[in-house]
Amino acid sequence: MLTEFGKIFVFLLVAVIFVIALVIVAWLIRPSRPTKEKLMTYECGENPEGSPWVKFNIRFYVVALIFLIFDVEVVLLIPWALVYRQFGLGGFMVGAIFLIMLGLGMAYEWRKGDLEWERAKIIPPVIKRPVFSSKETREAEPVKSKQLV
Amino acid sequence: MSFLDQQFDDNIIIAKVDDLFNWARLSSLWQVGFGLACCAIEMMATSASHYDFDRFGVIPRPSPRQSDIIIISGTVTLKMALRVKRLYEQMPDPKYVISMGSCSNCGGPYWEHGYHVLKGVDRVIPVDVYVPGCPPRPEALLEGLMKLQEKVRNESVIRKSS
Amino acid sequence: MKTEEEIFNLLKENFNDDIMELVKQPVDHYILCNPLKINEISLFLLSNEELLFDSLMNLSGVDDANGTSTIKEGITTIEGGTLSVYYHLESTKFRHKIILRISTPREKPEAASVALVWRSADWHEREAFDLLGIIFLNHPDLRRILMPYDWDAGYPLRKDYANPEFYHGMKVPY
C-alpha cells in the first residue's frame, strides 16, 4: 500500500508526465512553417538593434532584494494574523519584534541611500531662459545674442 | 515535418479531426494587443465588461508569438504598414486577420488626399474579415468575429495545405 | 502690455532693415522679418525687459503658392513664390501677443532656427521641415518627424506635391 508521501509522489509523477506528453503531442501535430521574419527577435515590429542579451543595471538587484524581503514579510504575517488572538500578548510580541526588525532594516537601507536612484547629470541648456523669481516682479536675465550660434 | 503539414485523403477520421481542431481554434482566438487609431477605442470597449470579448475566447496577448488573430483597428499609415506586416509575419500559423473600420478596409476618409495612408491593409497582409464602419460599433466587431469563427469552422486540414 | 505698433517700433529701432513691415489685417497683425535674422530677433523678443516673449505658442509653415504654376499632364509644378513660417508669441508676464512672419524663396527655403531660443520650437520646426521642406539653419536635430525617415518623394504639404506610385513595394494611390 502507498504511504501518504507515496500518493504525493504519484501526483507529482502524473503532473510531470502529463506536461511532457502534451508538449510532445503538440510538437507532433502542430504546423511548423518557420520563416526568417518569424524567427526574428520581437521588437514590436521595429528592426532589432544589437543583441537582446543586454545587461540590466545592477541597481535593479537592490530593488528586487527589497521587494523580496517585503514579499516574504507578507507571507509570514498572514498566518500570524490568523492565529495571533489565540496566543495573546506573547504572539503579538513575536510579530511586533519581527516587524520592528524589518523596519530597522528598512531605515538602514534608507539611511545608506540604497533607495536613491542616482541619475545621469542633465546637460544644461545652451540659452539661459529668463529667470522668474517667486515674487510678483519677474525680471529677465540679459542674454547676449552671441551665445545663440 | 509535423502532422498538420502533411496531406491526407479525405475520410471520416480526417473529418472528425478537422472538427476538433476547428472547434479548438475558433474557441480561443487570442488577439495581438494592438491598436492603431480611434477604432482601437471601440476594440477596447469590446474587450471590456459590457461587450465582453472574452466570452468568445478573445484575449489580448502582449506578443504576436502567442496570438492567432490580429485586429487591424485604425488607420494604417505607410510608416506603420511595414510594422503591421512584420507583426503579422511573426504570428504563428494558422493566423487570421480582421480589418476593422473604413481606414484599414480601404483608406477611409484619407482615400484621396491622404499622402501618408495605406489605402487598405489588404495591400500588405491577407484579410479574412472586413468590418465596415467609422468606427464600427462593438456589436459590429462581434459580428465580424463570429463571421471569422464561421470561416474557421469550415476549414480543413487537407484543403489548407493543398 | 504693448500694442503691435509699439513692439514693431521697438524692433525697428534695434534691427532696422531686418524688420520689413507691420502688415495690418482685420484680426491679427503680423510683422514681416528677415528669415536669416529671425533667431536674433527672437532672442531680443525673449530677453528684452519690456517684451519678455517667453512662450512660443505656435510655429507653423505655410506654402503661399504665389509663384507661377503650370499644369502639364495633370502634374502641377510651381516655380518662384515663397514658403512662409508664422511664429505666434505670447508673454506670460505682460500678456501681450505678437505674430511674426518670415518668407523664404521656394527654390532655397532657408531660415534661421529658433529652437535654441524656445525649446518648444524644436519639434515644430522639424514638422515644418518634414511637411514643407523649410530648412532651419543651426537646428540641433533636423530630421523628419512624421513621415518615414526614408521618405524620398518630397514634402507632402507643398501645393505641387505628387504622391509617389510605390513606397517599399506598397501601392500608394487609391
Q: Tell me the ipTM for this assembly.
A: 0.78
Query: Does B147 have pLDDT greater than 50?
Result: yes
Q: Which residues of B touch C156 (CB under 8 A)?
A: 115-116
Interchain CB distance below 8 Å, B2 and A30: yes
The contacts of residue B137 (CB under 8 Å, 6+ apart) are B42
Is residue A140 pLDDT above 80, yes or no?
A: no
Q: What is the pLDDT of residue B161?
A: 46
Q: How far apart are the first and last CA of chain B?
A: 15
CB C10 within 8 A of CB C51: yes
Distance between CA A94 and CA B125 in Å, rounded?
Answer: 64
Residues of chain C above pLDDT 70, percent: 100
User: What does the block give as the cell for C5?
Assistant: 505698433
The whole model's pTM is what?
0.75
Nearest 5°: the CA angle C45, C51, C53 is 55
- The residues near C159 (Cβ < 8 Å, ≥ 6 apart) are C63, C65, C69, C76, C78
Quick check: A130 contacting C, CB < 8 Å? yes
Q: What are phi and psi of C103, to 5 degrees?
A: -125, 125
* Minimum Cα–Cα distance from A39: chain B residue: B90
CB contact under 8 A, C172 and B119: yes
Of B81, B111, B116, the CB nearest to C174: B111
Per-residue confidence (pLDDT) for residue A134, from 0 to 100: 54
What is the pLDDT averaged over residues B63-70?
Answer: 92
Q: Give C170 to chain A, closest Cα distance, Å.
A: 17
The overall longest dimension of chain A from CA atoms, in Å, is: 95
Q: What CA–CA distance (Å, rounded) separates B97 from B29?
A: 11
* Residue C134 predicted with pLDDT over 70: yes
Neighbours of chain C (3+ CB pairs under 8 A): A, B
C-alpha to C-alpha distances, A143 to C48, C94, C135, nearest whole angstrom = 9, 19, 26
Model pLDDT, residue C110? 92
The number of helices, as runs of H, and strands, as runs of E, in chain C is: 3, 11
Find the helix or strand (DSSP H, E) in which B14 lies: helix B12-27
- pLDDT tops 90 at residue A144: no
Terminal CA-CA length for chain C: 52
Angle at B49 between CA B43 and CA B52, to 5 degrees: 60
Interface of A with C in 31-70 (CB under 8 A): none
Q: Catalogue the E-assigned strands of C17-151.
A: 19-23, 30-33, 55-63, 68-72, 75-79, 82-90, 97-105, 110-112, 135-137
Q: Which residue has the higher pLDDT, A61 or B58?
A: B58
Give residue B158's pLDDT: 63
Mean pLDDT over the full length of chain A: 79
Using pLDDT thresholds of 50, 70 and 90, give the confidence band for residue A133. low
A 106-125 residues with CB < 8 A to C? 125
Sheet holding C30-33, edge to edge: C19-23, C30-33, C97-105, C82-90, C55-63
Residue of A nearest to C114 (CA): A148
C117 touches chain A (CB under 8 A): yes
**Domain boundaries A4-112, CATH class:** mainly alpha
Of C52, C33, C26, C165, the C-alpha closest to C117 is C52
Measured at the CA of C41, the angle between CA C40 and CA C42, to 5 degrees, comes to: 90
